[in-house]
């Protein structure tokens, strides 16, 4: 028993190592040759498991796009891992098992560049001002963010929505006086929903997702600052057909409709 256990462990580790890192050479040739003879190349049947790593701001839209795909392909199971783009990029670099990566900024996609294929832009997002329902402190525009008497939330500059906010304030020549810097855009929006702050800068999509608990104000200074959303197939994917199909679906009219309905600007 005790002597065999390490052998089994080594074998198991070797198997895991093959399936994750060796997918491009040995694994790919194994899976590619037999199905190529049976399936029609025009409409490959998409099946199996697909894991999509996507930015937190895509939570609702990608879930809907995933449901559309799974409805059309009953043998396909899509699992999402939503999180901050930076965290997801780090996980990908550490060989996390993923097939598709959709991030909320070109910068985080560049971080993951060595483990993903050629990225494609699929959406843009712009910033809006959100205030609690009823706008109790009568916020009217970006200049109110310089008022130290107001409770203000922005995203932390280390995450895409915070970097965009920094650019907006720099362009407008306004020194913002935030009380807190949210770790991601959803957390920042939540402070407005719960009434803890008087105003925040978040993406248009998150303002819409926050529903009737908030009011949205657009401001002219937002026009020049949009966030690009790139999507790419992860190089180590074990389900390349499904991964590419997912990317194609996001870029298709059906996928784009889901995104624009949620407040994203089309590409």
Footprint of other proteins on this chain (CB under 8 A)?
84, 86-87, 90, 107-108, 111, 151, 153, 156, 158-159, 178-183, 187, 191, 194-196
- What's the CA gap between 130 and 203, in Å, rounded? 9
Residue 147: exposed, middle, or buried by beta-carbon count in 10 A (0-12, 13-18, 19+)?
A: middle
Closest to other proteins by CB, 143 or 158: 158
State in angstroms the smallest separation of the CB of 150 from other proteins: 12
- Give the residues across from 83 on adjacent strands: 55
Whose Cβ is closer to other proteins: residue 68's or residue 110's?
Answer: 110
Rounded to the nearest whole angstrom, what is the least distance from the CB of residue 118 to other proteins in the complex?
Answer: 23
Instruction: State residue 125 phi and psi, 5-degree precision.
Output: -135, 140
Between 192 and 243, CB nearer to other proteins: 192
Q: Give 179 or 265: the residue with its C-beta nearer to other proteins.
A: 179
Closest CB 203 distance from other proteins, rounded Å: 16
Q: How far is the CB of 267 from other proteins (least distance, A)?
A: 24
Between residues 51 and 190, which has the closer beta carbon with respect to other proteins?
A: 190
CB of 148 to other proteins, least distance (A): 12
* Smallest distance from other proteins to CB 59, Å: 17
Closer to other proteins by Cβ: residue 27 or 183: 183
Query: 111 vs 239, which CB is nearer to other proteins?
Result: 111
The burial class, CB within 10 Å (0-12 / 13-18 / 19+), for 26 is exposed
- Minimum Å gap between C-beta 55 and other proteins is 12
């Amino acid at each position: 028993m005790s002597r065999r256990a390490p052998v089994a462990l080594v074998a198991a580790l070797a198997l895991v190592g093959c399936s994750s890192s060796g997918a491009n050479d040995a694994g790919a040739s194994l899976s590619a040759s037999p199905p190529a003879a049976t399936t029609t190349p025009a409409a490959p049947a998409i099946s199996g498991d697909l894991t999509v790593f996507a930015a937190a701001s895509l939570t609702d839209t990608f879930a809907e796009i995933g449901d559309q795909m799974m409805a059309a392909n009953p043998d396909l199971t899509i699992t999402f891992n939503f999180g901050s783009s930076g965290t997801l990029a780090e996980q990908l670099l550490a060989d996390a098992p993923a097939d598709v990566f959709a991030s909320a900024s070109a910068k985080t996609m560049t971080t993951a560049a060595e483990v993903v294929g050629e990225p494609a832009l699929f959406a843009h997002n712009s910033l809006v001002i959100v205030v609690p329902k009823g706008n109790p402190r009568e916020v009217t525009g970006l200049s109110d963010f310089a008022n130290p008497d107001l409770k203000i939330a922005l995203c932390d500059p280390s995450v895409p929505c915070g970097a965009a906010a920094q650019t907006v304030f720099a362009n407008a020549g306004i020194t913002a006086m935030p009380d807190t810097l949210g770790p991601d855009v959803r957390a920042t929006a939540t402070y407005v929903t719960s009434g803890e702050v008087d105003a925040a800068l978040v993406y248009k999509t998150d303002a819409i997702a926050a529903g009737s608990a908030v009011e949205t104000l657009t401001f002219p200074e937002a026009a020049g600052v949009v966030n690009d959303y790139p999507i790419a197939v992860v190089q180590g994917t074990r389900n390349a057909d499904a991964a590419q199909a997912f990317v194609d679906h996001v870029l298709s009219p059906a996928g784009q409709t889901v995104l624009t309905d949620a407040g994203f600007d089309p590409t």
